[in-house]
Each structure stands twice: as C-alpha cells, then as structure tokens.
Amino acid sequence: MSSVPAARSHAAPQAVAFCPCPPLLVPAVAGRAAADTAVLRAACAAAVDTALATRPEVVVVVGGEDGCGRFGAGDGGDLRGYGVDLDVPFAGRARPGGRRTPLAHTIGAWLLHEAGYAGHRLGVGPADLADVLGDLPGPVAVLAVGDGSARRSLKAPGHLDPTAQPFDDAVAAALAAGDPDTLAVLDPAEGARLLAAGVPTWRAVGAALAGREVSGRLHAHEAPFGVAYLVADWSVR
C-alpha cells in the first residue's frame, strides 16, 4: 500500500457524491439499451440529490487525470465520440475557445444538470482537489467521478483479472462505511494495473477528509460491462 497523501490545510466538504462515468449512463448514448443502465442512473441521481440537499455554495467536480487542469464557466464537453450530437456545457453556456472537459467532468456536469443544479461549480483533477478546497470559504459539496476496475469479465476492456473484484469490493466497503482513510491509501499502481480510473480521485477525496467523521451509504456496485461502477454518498460532520 502507498502512503497517505500529504495533508494540507483545506475546508472539508459537507457532502460527497461518488459516481462512475460510463457514457452509456446518458440515455441519448445508450439508445435502446437505456433500460440497462436505468438502475445505475437512478442510483447516481439519488447520490447527487443527497449531496445537493446540503445546499452547497459550490460543487467541486473531481475526476480525470492529474494535470487535466481546472474547469468553470464557458468550458464544456460533448459526447460525439459516442455516436450522439450532444454538447454538455460544464457551467453555463460553453463559449468559443472554452476548454474541453474530460469525460469525467462531462458526465459530472450532465449529472448536475439532470439534478437541476444551476449553482456555482468548479472542475479539477485529483491532484488539485486540496488546493481548490483551501480556496473555497463557503459550504462545499464534492462530486467524485470515476470508474472501478475494467477487468471484471472476459469481455471487459482489460480482460478478466481475478483480483479485480476483491479490489472493487474493498472500495465498495470503504464507501459504504464512510472510511476516508482506506480510500486515501488505495494502491495507485494496483489501480492502474486493474484499469481502475477512479483510484486517483478516491485517494484525493480520502486524503481531503482524513480524520473527519463521515457517514456513508452505498447505492450501487455493478459491473454490467466488465467495468465496476460504484455509487455512494457521504455526509461529513
């Protein structure tokens, strides 16, 4: 196991929603298969709604890779690479020359839009989470976006690895228990080997909440396409 990332001074969020980012989560992409992701979509909606019920002044969407930058008003993504002509502004209307959001932030923005959230939001990569939290004085909620291992079946993107399910089960247990310490020390090398893109994000959230009292609720842990999709919400006191 790797050591816990170095602690920094920051304002801890009041709530966290953990959601995956498969493009098939969006009905327009899923098409006739939208029914196959309906339960997962409902779980994400429940987690996001719970986080937004804390009435945050800002929602920080964290996901993607370290060094991906920061995103805000005027930035946006699209899902054209997945067969649909669908633009997804990150915050407000996308502007010419605005930055293109990675998939995690694009799906995160879509989830917030579906929840009816029109408030202030910021997008960051995992390595920037602590710095951003340190700059935000008001109540904050975090939307942590990332998938689990992509080696859960023979047809999975990374083919079957017998250690993938135990790895995902351990993450699911930490999410259900509200255990930031376990998330903070997830092994990034093992996460990379198992193609678990959410590991850097989970580690960053765990480090941000180290020592805090957290109540967790796991909404879903599925792997319908050989990729683990975990959904949870945390309440922080």
Q: Which domain holds residue 201?
A: 15-236
- Domain contains 25: yes
The residues with which 77 forms a beta bridge, in sequence order, are 88
Is residue 4 domain-resident?
A: no
What local confidence, expressed as pLDDT, does residue 11 receive?
63
d(CA 207, CA 209): 5
The pLDDT, as a whole number, for residue 33 is 86
Residues of the chain by 3-state class (helix, strand, coil), percent to 5 = 40, 20, 45
Cβ-contact 137, 11 below 8 angstroms: yes
**C-alpha span between 49 and 162 (Å, rounded):** 34
List of residues 6+ apart from 42 with CB closer than 8 A: none
In a domain, 100, yes or no: yes
How much is the pTM? Answer: 0.93
Angstrom distance (rounded) from CA 159 to CA 182: 26
1 assigned to some structural domain? no
Please count the other Cβ atoms lying within 10 Å of the Cβ belonging to residue 219: 22
Domain assignment of residue 73, yes or no: yes
CATH (domain of 37): 3.40.830.10
Residue 70: per-residue pLDDT: 94
pLDDT of residue 9: 45
Q: What is the mean pLDDT of each run of 10 residues along the chain (237 residues)?
A: 43 91 96 92 98 96 92 95 95 90 98 96 96 89 98 96 98 98 98 98 96 96 96 96
Residue 2 lies in a domain: no
Q: Is residue 211 part of a domain?
A: yes
Q: Can you give the pLDDT at residue 10?
A: 52
How many folded domains does the chain comprise? 1
Q: Is residue 122 part of a domain?
A: yes
